[in-house]
Amino acid sequence: MSDIAPLHPPITPYASGMLETAGVHRIYWETSGNPDGIPVLFVHGGPGSGTSPIQRRFFDPARYRIVLFDQRGSGRSTPHAELTDNTTPHLIADMEALRRELGIETWLIFGGSWGSTLALAYAETHPERCRGLVLRGIFLCRKSEIDWFLHGIRALFPEAQRQLAEFIPENERHDLLTAYHRRLVDPDPAVHQPAAFQWATFEASCSTLLPNPELVSAFCGEKTALSLSRIEAHYFVNHIFLPDNSLLANVGRIRAIQAVIVQGRYDVVCPIVSADELARAWPEARYVIVANAGHSAFEPGIARELVAACDRFAETGAFDQ
């Protein structure tokens, strides 16, 4: 993924640290780019995937103060794959604590997939802290979306979904979420690690318009596979710890915030219907459909739109049509 043309050149952080919390979690963060630039917070997906260096490259390092952080249990945050006190309100509180720790008054929030979920939840809780929102691959984490992801997706990826399902005994396959969750939270690596591999392989295999073995490999490393699958299942069985449909119901709180929604037409992991519903509820937001793309932020067309949006915002403070 290192040769994606629209991205800015690779950079290294100028600062990093661990944010302490009131409980067991310690949150990894880093800053790169221009210390005096526009603060932007990259909110990673999953939940549970963690950040990677390529994600710094959506932003012009001369114009942005780029903040990446690993959500609870993810990436370099500790303890790894820990579910205690790992809820959406906890993650929102971590984002606010990090903002204060770094001395930032307001920032641009950038998130895709689960990152769009958490970005919306944060913005609806703290709209006064958001200069703007860059959202990609919209996931509102409703029951219909989770059911599609684990079951309905077989309409387009029957091989991948069959492999996911057939790992589970036949009498449990009617409810894959419950079956996988039970295995993923089991403390025995002989139980949770094979389940994690199956879940991560499935998700990565469905995330791009064309097959991408590099993405599958990145998702399926032992550490990432466990945090991704365990934390996703944890959030899904708990309805993301928010009231049903709350993100769409509360969009009125953020309609005054500058925003762009970038959605791949053929996104199978987070189908376009959710982005469409969000855009209809939020007509002030700029809505961009990428005609030849699936789910991944690193699909060339999606990466191009995301970089262009951030460049425009740095120049004008808006996401112009």
Q: Edge to edge, what strands does the sheet with 15-20 contain?
A: 15-20, 26-33, 64-69, 38-43, 107-112, 130-136, 258-264, 286-290
143-150 vs 176-184: helix axis angle to the nearest 10?
Answer: 80
Question: For residues 206 and 299, is the Cβ–Cβ distance under 8 A?
Answer: no
244 flagged as catalytic: no
- Active-site residue (options: 49, 74, 77, 113): 113
Question: For residues 289 and 265, is the Cβ–Cβ distance under 8 A?
Answer: yes
Residues 6+ apart with CB under 8 A from 156: 206, 268
Chain centroid offset of residue 247 CA: 15
- Active-site residue (options: 116, 267, 274, 296): 267
- Active-site residue (options: 8, 25, 44, 295): 295
**Radius of gyration, alpha carbons of the chain:** 18
**The residue count for the chain:** 321
Question: For residues 203 and 189, is the Cβ–Cβ distance under 8 A?
Answer: no
- What span, in angstroms and rounded, lies between the C-alpha atoms of 109 and 99? 11
- What span, in angstroms and rounded, lies between the C-alpha atoms of 42 and 21? 20
70 flagged as catalytic: no
Question: What are the E-state strand segments in 91-148?
Answer: 107-112, 130-136
Show the tokens assigned to 137.
């691959």
- What span, in angstroms and rounded, lies between the C-alpha atoms of 136 and 288? 9
The residue type found at 83 is: L
217 flagged as catalytic: no
Question: For residues 70 and 49, is the Cβ–Cβ distance under 8 A?
Answer: no
Catalytic residue annotation: 113, 267, 295
